[in-house]
């Protein structure tokens, strides 16, 4: 394993996570800051805040939500989820920055819909979004380097407002007649931006000087014709520029928390330059999505696999609101769930959502298919394939079904697709969108396909789902199989369930559950010597993983109070037979993923 391990020792204290004493807790973290000129740099956050570092990885997906009937051997294709004509939208053109997702989140926080598109997006695909404006992301390349990604001509010909960020600003200069060159003095870190042009809508209602975060090695040597400098820093005479017709460039990063007024700059671009009004709200999303589901499904029937996670719960509730009893949910107990989870999940759905839920206990089947398997990807595929087999059998009893509902989220799609965004490499197979038998023929209903996790929770609250369901921590589709390093057996599952129960119980008692993105135990494949009573032991080593994150695209290890860690360690070694050592994982994502497998 590449994760760093810290033996729990209450003799010193880490930075602590303050217990949540309110009804809801913020999970906002400080993002690491990109170096858009050749490298991606990370910088420490203030004490008590997260050091977020970006990559792709383990987003919760409800479970393996595919089905079907073996007919033509085709893989199910997502149904078109074009936004309606009245919906405002902005296109984010990705030039290879791993921080494009962060820009998208900031735009969504301004209640404006957006999508991330590849840098070579076609004119037709861009037009289908009907954007009010375009944002050019950062990127690791230099615009003058051979093979550097460029914006297609149709973006400039669209006459839409454009905001270039870092590499995006340099791209504007390079492609519109200016000149970009290596800077004598690189800028990485905090800087003070001085607004030099009064009246620019981009800096409306902002102070004349404001802190920003720079991360670049190139600079604008000469601006394109018609452009003027709007702001400068000590090392960047042109830190912001505009041409008076809606095209702007920013050398700094407004999307990161290190630029405190960055969200206001983005809001000014969206509202004052693009003319957006901010109608991307949970209520409008629910109304529009239920309407589109009714139009798509008509009199057909749909099935949905429930996992107990917020994604599948919100997706099922949204679809149920649209088509009622035309939806049937199936809950498969794969034997890889946490203690009492099957019972709690089933009761919650039947009592709160009042849906028709079919329950299947397939524990024996899943454990049989995992016998002798130690490779993580093989585990994922085996669990996915067996789920399909079970799901097919149950679905066949329902008669004619035309649609399969999934709780796929926007990060699921991006992380699992190597070609969807050309600059993004696939980190692992995701449970909703990959790794399944290529024989599915049902049409997919994916009402959450373009939402981030926090947006899903807001939609769930607007739908009236109970808070304990909405704030449930993410749980991977393959369940505990990927939290057991090595072979999955009944005995090892019992050990992990008992240890995980202690972790969850203590975290909740400390009122930290909502502050943590995930907190769980991992049963490692390491055994070590210990002393318990008058006897030497040779027992399991359990690792504790607790992270803070906004969307799991990046994550930082949580600075849990040492008193809490001591209680967890003491309880596990005393209450869980066969365990004599507990360690704490202190690795951020990247370089590690949140899950160990």
User: Of the listed 166, 274, 304, 329, which one is catalytic?
Assistant: 166
pLDDT at 80 (0 to 100): 40
Per the CB < 8 A criterion, the answer to whether 96 and 171 are in contact is no
Per the CB < 8 A criterion, the answer to whether 232 and 264 are in contact is no
Per the model's pLDDT, the better-predicted residue between 384 and 366 turns out to be 366
273: Cβ contacts below 8 Å, ≥ 6 apart:
133, 161, 163, 201, 202, 246, 248
Which tens digit of pLDDT belongs to each residue from 145-172? 899 999 999 999 999 999 999 999 999 9
pLDDT at 214 (0 to 100): 84
* Dist. CA 111–CA 116, nearest whole Å: 16
User: Of the listed 119, 174, 219, 253, which one is catalytic?
Assistant: 253
- DSSP β-bridge partners for residue 283: none
Q: What is the pTM of this model?
A: 0.70
253 belongs to the catalytic site: yes
pLDDT at 40 (0 to 100): 34
43 belongs to the catalytic site: no
Per the model's pLDDT, the better-predicted residue between 387 and 81 turns out to be 387
Q: Is the pLDDT of residue 101 over 90?
A: no
* Dist. CA 306–CA 330, nearest whole Å: 6
pLDDT at 399 (0 to 100): 84
Q: If pLDDT is split at 50, 70 and 90, which confidence band does 440 have?
A: low
Cβ burial of 456 (10 Å; 0-12, 13-18, 19+) is buried
* Chain centre to alpha carbon of residue 540: 32
Q: If pLDDT is split at 50, 70 and 90, which confidence band does 416 have?
A: low
Which run of H or E residues covers position 557? Answer: strand 556-557
H, E, C per residue of 370-423: CCCCCCHHHHHHHHHHHHHHHHHHHHHCCCCCCEEECCCCHHHHHHHCCCCCCC
* Dist. CA 378–CA 260, nearest whole Å: 44
Region 331-343: mean pLDDT is: 91
Q: Is the pLDDT of residue 189 over 70?
A: yes
* Dist. CA 203–CA 226, nearest whole Å: 19
- Looking up tokens 């066969």, which residue turns up? 578
Q: If pLDDT is split at 50, 70 and 90, which confidence band does 182 have?
A: confident
* Dist. CA 58–CA 418, nearest whole Å: 16
- Give me the DSSP letters along 79-111: PP-PPPTTS-EEEEEESS-TTHHHHHHHHHHTT
Q: Do domains 89-273 and 282-470 have the same CATH topology?
A: yes
Token pair for 6: 């810290």
Which tens digit of pLDDT belongs to each residue from 7-29? 333 333 333 455 544 333 333 33
Domain parsing of the chain, residue ranges: 5-32+480-585, 89-273, 282-470
DSSP three-state, residue 306: strand
pLDDT at 10 (0 to 100): 33
Q: Is the pLDDT of residue 201 over 50?
A: yes
Q: If pLDDT is split at 50, 70 and 90, which confidence band does 140 have?
A: confident
* Dist. CA 164–CA 223, nearest whole Å: 13
Per the model's pLDDT, the better-predicted residue between 52 and 118 turns out to be 118
Per the model's pLDDT, the better-predicted residue between 421 and 466 turns out to be 466
Q: If pLDDT is split at 50, 70 and 90, which confidence band does 30 have?
A: very low
Q: Is the pLDDT of residue 438 over 60?
A: no
Q: What share of the chain is helix, strand, coil (3-state, %, to 5)?
A: 30, 25, 45
Q: What is the mean pLDDT of the chain?
A: 81
User: Of the listed 255, 506, 595, 597, which one is catalytic?
Assistant: 255
Q: Which CATH number fits domain 89-273: 3.30.70.2740, 3.40.50.880, 3.40.140.10, 1.25.40.10?
A: 3.40.50.880
Q: Is the pLDDT of residue 344 over 90?
A: no
Region 37-60: mean pLDDT is: 31
Which run of H or E residues covers position 562? Answer: helix 562-575
- Please name the CATH architecture into which domain 5-32+480-585 falls: 2-Layer Sandwich (3.30)
How many residues are recorded in the chain?
597
448: Cβ contacts below 8 Å, ≥ 6 apart:
311, 314, 315, 318, 407, 408, 409, 456, 459
pLDDT at 27 (0 to 100): 34
* Dist. CA 586–CA 291, nearest whole Å: 46
Which tens digit of pLDDT belongs to each residue from 285-300? 999 999 999 999 999 9
Which run of H or E residues covers position 526? Answer: strand 518-532
Q: Is the pLDDT of residue 379 over 80?
A: yes
DSSP three-state, residue 530: strand
* Dist. CA 404–CA 355, nearest whole Å: 16
Region 99-115: mean pLDDT is: 91
Q: What is the CA angle 254-256-262, rounded to 5?
A: 30
Q: Is the pLDDT of residue 78 over 90?
A: no
- Give me the DSSP letters along 210-258: EEEEEEEEEEEEEPPTT-EEEEE-SS-S-SEEE-SSSEEEESS-TTSTT
Per the model's pLDDT, the better-predicted residue between 227 and 405 turns out to be 227
Per the model's pLDDT, the better-predicted residue between 52 and 577 turns out to be 577
45-54, 249-258, 278-287, 564-573, range with the lowest pLDDT: 45-54
pLDDT at 51 (0 to 100): 27
CATH superfamily name and code, 282-470: HUPs (3.40.50.620)
The rounded percent of the chain whose pLDDT value lies above 70 is 79
Which tens digit of pLDDT belongs to each residue from 235-283? 889 999 999 899 999 999 999 888 999 999 999 999 999 999 999 899 9
The rounded percent of the chain whose pLDDT value lies above 90 is 54
386 belongs to the catalytic site: no
């Amino acid at each position: 394993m590449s994760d760093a391990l810290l033996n729990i020792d209450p003799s010193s204290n880490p930075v602590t996570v303050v217990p949540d004493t309110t009804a809801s807790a913020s999970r906002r973290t400080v993002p690491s800051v990109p170096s858009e000129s050749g490298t991606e740099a990370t910088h420490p956050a203030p004490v008590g805040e997260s050091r977020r570092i970006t990559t792709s990885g383990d987003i919760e997906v409800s479970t393996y939500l595919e089905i079907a009937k073996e007919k033509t051997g085709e893989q199910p294709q997502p149904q078109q989820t074009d936004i309606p004509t009245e919906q405002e939208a902005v296109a984010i053109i990705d030039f290879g920055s791993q921080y494009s997702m962060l820009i998208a989140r900031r735009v969504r926080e301004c209640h404006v819909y957006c999508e991330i598109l590849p840098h070579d997006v076609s004119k037709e695909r861009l037009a289908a979004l009907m954007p009010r404006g375009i944002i050019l992301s950062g990127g690791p390349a230099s615009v003058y380097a051979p093979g550097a990604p460029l914006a297609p001509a149709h973006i400039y010909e669209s006459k839409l407002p454009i905001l270039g960020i870092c590499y995006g600003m340099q791209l504007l200069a390079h492609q519109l007649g200016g000149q970009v060159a290596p800077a004598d003095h690189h800028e990485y870190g905090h800087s003070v931006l001085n607004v030099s042009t009064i009246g620019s809508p981009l800096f409306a209602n902002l102070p004349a000087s404001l802190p920003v975060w720079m991360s670049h090695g190139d600079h604008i040597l000469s601006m394109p014709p018609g452009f003027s400098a709007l702001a400068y820093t000590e090392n960047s005479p042109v830190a912001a520029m505009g041409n008076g017709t809606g095209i702007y460039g920013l050398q700094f990063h407004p999307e990161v928390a290190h630029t405190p007024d960055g969200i206001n700059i983005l809001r000014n671009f969206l509202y004052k330059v693009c003319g957006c009004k901010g109608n991307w709200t949970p209520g409008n999303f629910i109304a529009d999505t239920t309407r589109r589901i009714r139009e798509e499904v008509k009199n057909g029937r749909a099935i949905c696999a429930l996992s107990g996670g917020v994604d599948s719960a919100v997706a099922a509730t949204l679809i149920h609101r649209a088509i009622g009893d035309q939806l049937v949910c199936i809950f498969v107990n794969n034997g890889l769930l946490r203690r009492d989870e099957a019972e709690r999940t089933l009761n919650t759905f039947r009592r709160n959502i009042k849906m028709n839920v079919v329950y299947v206990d397939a524990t024996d089947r899943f454990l049989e298919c995992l016998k002798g398997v130690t490779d993580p990807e093989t585990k994922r595929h085996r669990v996915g394939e067996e789920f399909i087999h079970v799901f097919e059998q149950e679905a066949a009893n329902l008669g004619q079904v035309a649609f399969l509902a999934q709780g796929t989220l926007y990060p699921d799609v991006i992380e699992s697709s190597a070609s969807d965004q050309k600059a993004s490499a696939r980190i692992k197979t995701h449970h909703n969108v990959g790794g399944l038998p290529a024989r599915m023929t049902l049409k997919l209903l994916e009402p959450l396909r373009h939402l981030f996790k926090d947006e899903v929770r807001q939609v769930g609250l607007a739908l009236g789902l109970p808070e304990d369901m909405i704030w449930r921590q993410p749980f991977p589709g393959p369940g505990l199989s990927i939290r057991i390093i090595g072979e999955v057996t009944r005995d090892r599952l019992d050990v992990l369930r008992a240890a995980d129960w202690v972790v969850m119980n203590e975290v909740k008692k400390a009122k930290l559950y909502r502050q943590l993105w995930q907190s769980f135990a991992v049963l490692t494949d390491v055994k070590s010597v210990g002393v318990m009573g008058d006897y030497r032991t040779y027992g399991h080593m359990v690792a504790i993983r607790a992270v803070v994150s906004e969307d799991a695209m990046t994550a930082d290890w949580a600075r849990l109070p040492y008193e809490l860690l001591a209680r967890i360690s003491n309880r596990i070694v005393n209450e869980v037979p066969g365990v004599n050592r507990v360690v704490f994982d202190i690795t951020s994502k990247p370089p590690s993923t949140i899950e160990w497998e």
